[in-house]
Amino acid sequence: MKHQIVLGHNANTKEELINMIENKQWDSLLKRVKIKPGDFFYVPAGTIHSLGKGILVLETQQSSDSTYRVFDYDRVDSNGKLRELHLDKAIDVTIIPHELKESGYMVINKDEATITKFVDSEYFSVYKWEVNGSFSYSQN
């Protein structure tokens, strides 16, 4: 697959997740999804995910400095050392089993605009507006 992301895993229990990580069974553990420009994926907290090479994304998230790595493609830092993994912390926060959250797109055609609602959660909403010509919108 040329363009893909990792989105979720195939472990059914915490023990299975730990075993697959310890045995570096990445091809069996990680779910890979083909992508194309314009795709939208909702990635809730606790979801194992990563981007493939050459992929540009807009990531909407709550501000945090927490990234827990379970696998890092054996990349090395500027000193030639493997980058740090955070296995215990990652395992603790990973949702098991993984469930793909369908965002339930809603498309609204209004005048000269097509509005797609990707996510409407308690914490945030994500919309895509495609405007052909001119469009006026006022928020109540």
> Which listed residue (32, 69, 75, 83) is catalytic?
69
Q: Could you tell me how many residues make up the chain?
A: 140
Nearest to 50 by CA among 16, 83, 88, 23: 83
In the three-class reduction of DSSP (H, G, I as helix; E, B as strand; rest coil), residue 120 is classed as: strand
Beta bridge partners of 119: 126
Cis peptide before 97 (omega within 30 of 0): yes
69 in catalytic set: yes
Q: Which residue has the tokens 């795709």?
A: 39
Are 27 and 1 a contacting pair, CB within 8 Å? no
Query: Which residues are part of the catalytic machinery?
Result: 69
